[in-house]
Structure 1
């Protein structure tokens, strides 16, 4: 039986956007609005989640893993729940072909739409990942989905404001300039490497979805998708966060003036920042603490561009949503942007 339409698609739209608006207001918009006044008054938004007031993270241990996972989990759990709700709701509540119409084209328009839609979200990379999974399940183009994923972090307006008050507006300008290139440039590049065969397969999957989506039971379908998504994504996410929490001391050595503006340190911190996982805006107090300990602006610029956009856990969460070459390209490109950010921070005498 051909069931191309839901009985009442308006209810799906209304429910989805109410969840998005209420959730983002509670989890993101209101807290960040209040934190902006704190940043302006104190030039700080808290301690570094990486190492607190110490000059280096704790030695690798079970305790270090659990301590980091606890602090990190308290910072992001609400946003993760919201991300799972929205990622599953996009598949169950929105009209089946809406995402494909808005984000499914391989032209720049889908990339622009994905990047612009990401700005109100302000999610960390891991909390945005379930939404990206949902978009890809509804045949959003690879480039549009990548732009949405990266834009949540590097174009986050709240983080740019915090950064300006805490680190200086020159750092915000650097982040915004390179962030725009990262989000829209990488999204466009990813769309360019989609093969004709992959495009045909996406069209076939969309046709199958349109032809087989049930006309009723949207709530039951939503809960079923939410459960499957949670079971698949959350366990591997927790394991990787624990491992990274334990390995902090390996990724980030003793922070002191010896970590200068040499290219080796810029590249090393760019790689470490790409792997590690932080909550939204966590890079701001991390960089502030490291600069206060004498670290060069080059490595700081590298972390500015690599800590937020991706991490080992978020890449793992999206391993089934993109071809391996796409995730490899994005990962290598984020490292490259980190190196460019570090070199620019040195050249511009930050």
Structure 2
């Protein structure tokens, strides 16, 4: 049965419009990532190769321990942290809002909305050029879920940015050596292509996706910001950006401030003590590393500084795995895109893999 000429024309017009919009999204993504990530990291790689360092620890600076809890400690940590990530965060939240208005939802559903392992792998691989920290990539997780990607694909994209960041692996090789780099690579593959797929099997995909759409459109008076033909593209983008910003930024800032204030309690000074390379230290740092927040590659100077003051290889290995992958602030940011049950499972999984990495470090790297 032949379709009416007008309908065929409309379909062709829509396809052309979405094709052009997707190209615009791609151009913005490339430009933003070059500005915030690719160009700075290209130069930082040479710094890591020549000096075997990429900066000071965000936890303790060049000292063995973080400052005591205070407003000043919170302020200085937050200031340094946001100074490190502001460019990437702008790019992350910009792309997260644009993916909702420039990329066709049915395309996201076909490519990343399936529960198959192929969607998980594709999402994890597509995250590698992003090289964002867990908080800067969190808005994109929300955006992908808003477009009805599967849970597994969203998590694989989230973890792919952090656990398998190619720039961080290069920095780590020059600063901490090949053993830490290999350990990070192996565990990173498990996190991105294993843990994410497992957690995807735990949720009821269709019902969960519908719930996410309902939650994220509530601030827009129940309207889908992308499907209203009466509104211009710019207005829909502004709505998407404002809704997402109001939902994630306040909790993000407050949680970073609190963690910065009490980081001395979270990271006890163990260097040179009997506990510096013990199983207890591995357990403590695996849990703390899962909760704490750092900028991209921040785990490298943190571990380098702690080890210079006597921290053992086991706890250091646990931090290398857990610090970058997930954090309390990033979990708060994606709380409406991933259920607390899912986030709890991910947190426990990351901590457990951190413990395993610590045991491997104690056994084979000491």
TM-score range normalised by the length of the shorter chain: over 0.9
- Which of 98, 105, 114 is the equivalent residue of 1:105? 114
Alignment of 1:75-224 (within 5 A): 75-195=84-204, 198=207, 201=210, 212-214=227-229, 217-224=232-239
The alpha carbon displacement at 1:124 in A equals 0.3
Deviations 1:187-224 (A, max 9, x none): 1101211237636847998xx97994537612221111
Q: Closer, same or farther in 2 for the Cα pair 1:211/1:313, shift >3 Å?
A: closer
CA distance in 1, matches of 2:281, 2:19: 54
The alpha carbon displacement at 1:260 in A equals 2.1
CA distance in 2, matches of 1:196, 1:32: 37
Matched, 1:57 2:73: no
TM-score after normalising by structure 1: 0.94
Partner residue in 2 for 1:245: 260
Matched, 1:272 2:281: no
Aligned length: 347
Asked if 1 retains the 8 angstrom alpha-carbon contact of 2:145 and 2:212, the reply is no
Partner residue in 2 for 1:315: 331
CA distance in 2, matches of 1:74, 1:42: 23
Question: Structure 1: any 5+ residue segments left out of the alignment?
Answer: none
Deviations 1:2-28 (A, max 9, x none): 998477213311221111000001110
Deviations 1:140-159 (A, max 9, x none): 00000000001101100000
Partner residue in 1 for 2:220: none
CA distance in 2, matches of 1:269, 1:300: 8
CA distance in 2, matches of 1:129, 1:347: 34
Question: Structure 2: any 5+ residue segments left out of the alignment?
Answer: 1-6, 215-222
Q: Closer, same or farther in 2 for the Cα pair 1:169/1:229, shift >3 Å?
A: same
Does the residue aligned with 1:47 lie in a helix, a strand or coil? coil
CA distance in 2, matches of 1:75, 1:203: 31
Does the residue aligned with 2:324 lie in a helix, a strand or coil? coil
CA distance in 2, matches of 1:105, 1:51: 43
Does the residue aligned with 2:325 lie in a helix, a strand or coil? coil
Q: Which has the larger radius of gyration?
A: 2
TM-score after normalising by structure 2: 0.90
Partner residue in 2 for 1:74: 83
Matched, 1:286 2:302: yes
CA distance in 1, matches of 2:145, 2:343: 14
CA distance in 1, matches of 2:205, 2:88: 36
